[in-house]
Amino acid sequence: MNRFTPNPPSNDKENPMNPSVRSLTTLAALLATAASSLAADWPNWRGPAYDGISKETDWNPAAVGDKKIAWEAKVGAGYSAVSVAAGKLYTAGNFNKNTDRISCLDALTGKEVWKYEYPEALAPKFYSGGCSATPTIHGGKVYFASKSGKVFCLDALTGKEVWKKEFGKKVPTWGFSSSALVHGKAVIFNAGSAGLAYDLESGKVLWDSADDVCGYATPVPFTHKGKTALALFAKNTLTAIGAEDGKPLWSTPWQTQHDINAADPVISGTQAFITSGYGRGCSLVDFSGAEPKKLWENKEMRSHMSGPVLIDGHLYGFDDMRLVCLDWKTGARKWEEKSPKKGALMAAGDKLIILGEGGRLAIAKATPDAYQEVAGAQIVGGRCWTMPILANGLIYVRNSDGDLACVDVRK
């Protein structure tokens, strides 16, 4: 008897050397791998939970220091982040100053699968211009809105147009930048005074709001009195609306210079954190009562674009030209780090994934004790204001010129 099989199988059907058993074992392993991969997808702006935090654990943070570039690609000018679903990567950029392109690439190789182009001006205005929103992948479709308010639904596998609409709303100074939020049968954008919803399948308008200039953030879903609501950072308010009908629930004023409210609100329980740049600062609002109540306000986090993440009672985000950690309850600053300057970040578990303005990618511990970097490397040049994305053991970073790099951090 082989000493490695003390209890031999009673019949050949149970024998692990039987081809049919081996096939079933292999199939089970493949299904487990596929399920794991799906769980690590990042199909929309700020991720599956809309909070900038990934649940992915099967990656090696220290590998960033090895600077293993799996592939590079040109995706056009702009600040669109990437979305990753079912082995494909989706992003957008502007080419030749007059054409936008929604690109679908193989997430592992960077090879182009399809592209969809439409006329759109680069529209630089005190910055380099280009696409601002990030494609949303849902139900085999791609949903995207351009800076001028063109709205597209495309087939995720082929890029074929399913439907096309236009917001028909006043365009904010730097163009529309809301990514699409899917809820039920609706795809929702921050457009107009308090949002606009289309039917997923037909593009028919389901509900609308007044024709006014909107904010630059994407709607954030949360639970309010047992129902799904949406937090909209409008041009001068934080407004909550019903996800089903767009009806207003509550609102609190938040005026920022140039009407730039761009960082997504962070919701925890019955509290909402908001932050804006241009010296405005940040605030924590409690909305459990009849009217929203401000719990605190300060200037310790003035996020111009990239929203913060909330981990174990602490916020990690950008205060203009520095990275900071704040206490959620009090707003007190725990530490600051100036090296990334005006960058962007996400998190995976207890690690921060930080892309500095100059293209340096860093991994740091999400701890209020001090800034503790685990690894870092210069990945791209140019200006980097776009959130880095970790999906299935790969980190994707891009600059405003459209240079996209894939960093392999798989174990």
State yes or no: pLDDT of 99 exceeds 70: yes
Whether 318 and 304 have beta carbons less than 8 Å apart is answered as: yes
| 366 domain residue, yes or no | yes
- Residue 408 domain-assigned? yes
Dihedral pair phi/psi, residue 63, rounded to 5°: -65, -20
d(CA 370, CA 155): 46
* pTM for this prediction: 0.91
Q: What is the pLDDT of residue 65?
A: 97
Would you say residue 207 lies in a domain? no
Instruction: Summarize pLDDT for 196-247 with one digit per residue, the tens.
Output: 999 999 999 999 999 999 999 999 999 999 999 999 999 999 999 999 999 9
In-domain check, residue 380: yes
pLDDT score of 17 more than 50: no
Domain count of the chain? 1
Beta-bridge partners for 327: 314
| Residue 159 placed within a domain | no
Partnered with residue 115 across adjacent β-strands are 103
Instruction: Give per-residue pLDDT as tens, 153-191.
Output: 999 999 999 999 999 999 999 999 999 999 999 999 999
Asked, for residue 194, whether it belongs to a domain, the answer is no
The two tokens of residue 122 are 């680069």
> 396: domain CATH number?
2.40.10.480
The model's confidence at residue 351, banded by pLDDT at 50, 70 and 90, is: very high
70, part of any domain:
yes
Q: Are 132 and 122 in contact (CB under 8 A)?
A: no
Structural domain contains residue 382: yes
What is the reported pLDDT for 27? Answer: 44
Range(s) of the domain holding residue 378: 56-77+342-411
